[in-house]
Amino acid sequence: MDVLEQLEKCDPIFLKDLTGKYVSISTLDNDVHNGAVYVIDPISKTIVLTQIKDNKKILKIVMFHALKTFKLTPDAEVVRDTFIEEPLFERDIEERRIRLKNWFIKNLIDVTEDGKLLRIRDDFSIGPPYTISQCVSNNAIILERMIQLIERMP
């Protein structure tokens, strides 16, 4: 079964397996789009590719109904790109949690652990994988200051 037929079936595991793989797609208007698969929408089957043009990283959207061919690279290598984050292993996440907790303590911030969350009183919390995207606070000033502190962490 070729890739287009598998895309038509819309198997979620197959779609996830394509993420990060380098592909060459031709469309009905004879355009060719090369790039790493960022994501495929399981409903519309729209494909989002990451590409590098003029030393800038861009996203390219290709609609399923416009596909003529869809080819994986010969070895279907996974492309490491800044758009595609490498998976974090539990060990890496745990190391990041410990580093962050120690950073708070070094900055005289009373931090407690609540399961996998690091909490500072009831004002701020951060959970796995312990990046600024996981910061939560009801107070915008506290949130901003904590993000700035985390960004300064060596």
Is pLDDT above 90 for 150? yes
The 10s digit of each residue's pLDDT in 68-126 is: 988 887 654 455 444 544 455 778 889 999 999 999 999 999 999 999 999 999 899 99
Average pLDDT, the chain: 84
What predicted TM-score, i.e. pTM, was given to this entire model? 0.49
Check whether 8 has a pLDDT greater than 80: no
Q: How much is the average pLDDT of 42-52?
A: 85
State how far Cα 19 lies from the chain centre. Answer: 10
| pLDDT beyond 60 at 46 | yes
Closest CA to 68 of 33, 36, 25: 25
Distances (CA, A) of 43 to 15, 22, 58, 70, 117: 11, 22, 23, 18, 34
pLDDT of residue 82: 45
